[in-house]
Every structure is written in C-alpha cells, then in structure tokens.
Amino acid sequence: MSQNWWDGAVIYQIYPRSFRDSNADGIGDLPGITDKLTSIADLGVDCIWLSPFFKSPFKDFGYDVSDYRAVDPVFGTDEDFDMLLDKAHSLGLKVILDQVLCHCSAEHKWFEESRQDRTNPKADWFVWSDPKPDGTEPNNWLSFFGGRAWTWDAQRRQYYFHNFLTSQPNLNHQNPEVRAAVIAECQYWLDKGVDGFRLDAIHTLAFDPEFRDNDPRGAEEAGGDDSRVAQPFGMQYIQSRQIDQPWGEVFLKELRTLGDSYDEPRFLMGELGGEDGMAMIDRFTQPGLLHSCYNFDLLAWDGQTAEELEGVLRRVTDNLDGHQITFATSNHDVPRISSRQVKRLDLQPRDTDRVAMMMIELELALHGSVCIYQGEELGLEDADRLTFEDLQDPWGIEFWPTFKGRDTCRTPIPWNANEPHAGFSLAEKPWLPVDERHLSRSMDQQMADPTSFRAQVKRRIAQRKAGEILMGGDLEVLDSPEDMVVFKRKSGNKIQDMIFNFGTKTASFDGIDVEGLSSIFTSPVPE
C-alpha cells in the first residue's frame, strides 16, 4: 500500500459561509471553524477541505477571487487562518484549500490592468477576441450561468471569455507568465503548511485557441425533462471546443512539480465535469499530473437508480486503477444526497434517513479517497423550501423557478436546536435561513446520542480505517438483481462482499437476504 496520507482518506468539506458564525454578522467565518474543529476530528476524518475564503466581491460567493493571498475580512484575518491551520494539525487533520485557478474576479488587479488596452504587460493574461465583422461574439460558446460566454469591454473594444459569470473572466493559461503567477499564488499557501488543494472546475482551464464553435446536441439529448434543460449550454457539446483541451496538462505538470518539491508532497485533487467523466479522470491523473480527481457521476442532480449507481462503479473499474479517484456524493453545488435519492427512487420522506445512511455506507465502502460534505454526517435533507426572496445564488436567481440553484444545500449547520438560528449565528438574520427540519438533527443532540445518525457515520468511518480491504483493496462489480448494487473488495488473499438493496422489499443475493433500503457487508474470507 502507498504511504501517501490521502490514499483511502476521508475528507470533510467545509463551506465556511454556512459552518459557524463567530462575530454575529450572519456569515460563517474562520474563527467559527476553528472553534468547532474538535467535532470534525471526533468524527474520525483525515482531512478538511475549505471552500474559498479569499478576498472576493462574492458575486459567486468566493469562487470569484480578487486576491489569492488575502483572507477576506468577512471570514477573518490572516492570523485567523494561521490559528485554524495550527489547530487542525494539532488534532491530526490535514488541510486542503479550494483553489479557483481557471478564472478570477473582474475586480482582480490582473484583469483591471489587462482591460486597459491591448499593449499593457498583462494584455494577454485573459482570453480576448475581436468581434465578428457584424459585431457579434467570436463563436457560439455559452456561459454555464446563462447567456453568452463572451462579454464586450468598451474600453478595450474586444470581447473577453468567461465560462461562468461576466464577472469571472477566464485566465489565459496558454501564457507562461500567467501560469507562473498562478503557481506563485499556490506556493504562498503551501509554504504556510497547507497540505494540498482541491482544484475547482479544473476541466474549464483549457479552451480551443482557434475559438471554433461547439458542436450542437439539442434539447432532448441534453436532458429530456430534466429542469436544467432550461439552461441552453446543455444543448452544446461544450467539451468539443470550450473546455478540456489537451494543452491544459502543461499547467497541471507545473503545479505537480511544485507540490512534489516539499518534504511531504502536497495532495492535488481536481474537480471535473464533462461528457465522459471517468475518461477525464484517467487522463488528468496520469503520472506527473494530479493525484486524484472526482466528477459528478455520484453527484447527479436528480439522484440515481440502483442500475445507474452500478453503472458508475462499472465505469470506474473499466477506466481506472488504484487510488486515482475521489468519490463524493454531496457538495456545495448539488442538492443534498438524501433528498436526491428519495426523489429518484420514488420513496417516501420517512425513508430519508435509511437512504442517506446507505449512500454514506456505499461511499465509505469504495476505494480511493472520499469526501463528506458538511451536514452529510447529520443526515440533513435538502433545504428545498427556500423562497425566491431567500435565494443568494446567481445561478438559481437566473433560472428560477424551474431551477433553484445551489442555496438549498448551503444553508447553515444546526449546532444547537435551542439557540437562535440553531447556534449558527447570533445575528438577527443569517445569510441563508436555517431549515426548520434540520433542528431535530442538530449537532449537540446527535453527539450526545450513541444511536444517532452521526454516531453511525462515525462507526462506519472507523470500520473503513480499520480494514485493510476497504482502505487499499481492489473493487469488482458483480451482476446483481433489480434494485441492488453488489461489489467485491479484495486485498491480498482476502475478499469481502458489499450488498446494497435500494428496493423497499427484502431481496436476496447469493443466498443472503437483505432488507429493503439497507446494506450488508459480509465478513472477510480467503479468496
């Protein structure tokens, strides 16, 4: 087995705005995280991943960075981060930061200089293009957040490219000066002692330098009756031209060289999206590139059937080897897993806990590293009752009401059911409201109850870390009856079956009866 700490690691994602507010301004912050780190360490995880806390105008809530080296005052100070890092390390927790390196904020000093004219030192640091002869955009590329992926800049008299908001211009990583500058920003944090990075939407780094049109695919192929088909970018094969071009590997090699230069190599984990996520992971984790990646195969917006889950695992075994993958079933960009699965499996709300636990068990039974999103260990439901007036996410605001965006999974963590806003904040009004359904699942109640959902998750994490098979073994997907997912984990001469029944009735596999909405892990035996 590899000696890298991230092999088999359980990574806990913290979305700082919604974790804990220490100064009563309604927004979570770094001191609030530091205050609650012991509860995370108690869960038995190996690492925390912090979503962005860098200086930002927050048009996309921190995923639009205006200064990569500065802690935004909303979240605290540089000293607050240093205290967080020191405490995490003292508790045995590694710390990885969310780095947004494909684009930055339009308020970053780099872009402010670049847009001045076409001859300044940073003129080529972003993706600029002249209009077509009729004044229109250079091609048909569309923004993920609505509208064209090009915005006219009157001062420079050119269009600039942005995969997301108009205020998130794409950096031009074809320019070696850009790559060197971004590497330097990363080195600043690694020199502080940060243990690695999660690289946001790293597949959007490289574009077609000839600016050729994306190929069309139409509404039906884009998603049928999925509510997201209301977003036109789904009607294009964006991977054909707009994202994921081969020259992007140059930057990944340079970043890996930096990470490997430390006495203890730093972990590099990429987030990927695209038409064939597993093939992308295989390419992005070739020797000398990233250590691991995750995609959206287990983060499907509307959940998945047992057959679809089995298909994900088969794609893993068909495309990947060893620890080149990180699994995630929830994060800050998709509805919470329990609500997605209950909806997809056509179950009743009373089944939420059982489905949520099954998905935790499934994730912890897989190889590679895994991510647990804050609140997932509490079994929180998606806060899908938010009104339009509650929304903060520009994506949801743009496509309301067919698409509510990402706020539903970003509501504050309930720490104490008997305190204002469930102990998240003493502010009159937090940035997002606490879902009343979450009060009965508060952290204080669950930590005091040895039978709680959180207690069961803690035991499952301990079982994973205690077992050679779960930490480092191979995975083989088996043919299984309808509504079931079955796979083997193997290590050395030992073998163990993992059987999941996503149906509501008892079903059998290989003579083993499994109740509805439950799982059974057989005892390890010689192969």
Catalytic residue selected from 7, 64, 80, 200 = 200
Give the model's pLDDT for residue 222: 64
Give the model's pLDDT for residue 223: 59
Catalytic residue selected from 29, 271, 333, 376 = 271
Residue 324 in contact with residue 368, Cβ under 8 Å? yes
Give the model's pLDDT for residue 229: 45
Q: Give CA–CA dist 382/359, Å, rounded.
A: 15
Q: Give CA–CA dist 130/136, Å, rounded.
A: 9
What is the widest separation between alpha-carbon atoms in the chain?
Answer: 73
Residue 423 in contact with residue 439, Cβ under 8 Å? no
Name the CATH topology of 474-526.
Immunoglobulin-like (2.60.40)
Tokens at residue 474, please?
């191979």
Nearest to 383 by CA among 318, 333, 445, 335: 335
* Active-site annotation holds for 436: no
Q: Which residue ranges make up each domain of the chain?
A: 10-104+176-465, 474-526
- Count CB-CB contacts under 10 A for residue 388: 10
φ/ψ (deg, to 5) at 338: -60, -45
Give the model's pLDDT for residue 322: 56
Tokens at residue 349, please?
């709300």
Residue 356 in contact with residue 456, Cβ under 8 Å? no
Geometric angle at alpha carbon 47, from 102 and 321, rounded to 5°? 70
Tokens at residue 325, please?
């993958």
**What tens-digit pLDDT sequence spans the chain (527 residues)?**
457 999 999 999 999 999 999 999 999 999 999 999 999 999 999 999 999 999 999 999 999 999 999 999 999 999 999 999 999 999 999 999 999 999 999 999 999 999 999 999 999 999 999 999 999 999 999 999 989 999 999 999 999 999 999 999 999 999 999 999 999 999 999 999 999 999 999 999 999 999 999 999 876 676 544 444 457 888 899 999 999 999 999 999 999 999 999 999 999 999 998 778 888 999 999 999 999 999 889 999 889 999 999 999 999 888 876 558 999 999 999 999 999 999 999 999 999 999 999 999 999 999 899 999 999 999 999 999 999 999 999 999 998 988 889 999 999 999 999 999 999 999 999 999 999 999 999 999 999 999 999 999 999 999 999 988 998 788 999 999 999 999 999 988 999 999 999 999 999 999 999 999 999 999 999 98
Q: Give CA–CA dist 465/5, Å, rounded.
A: 12
Residue 52 in contact with residue 60, Cβ under 8 Å? no
Residue 515 in contact with residue 501, Cβ under 8 Å? yes
Nearest to 485 by CA among 523, 517, 446: 517
- Say if 10-104+176-465 and 474-526 have the same CATH topology: no
* Active-site annotation holds for 113: no
Residue 383 in contact with residue 408, Cβ under 8 Å? yes
Give the model's pLDDT for residue 230: 58
Nearest to 407 by CA among 439, 437, 429, 382: 382
CATH architecture of 10-104+176-465: Alpha-Beta Barrel (3.20)
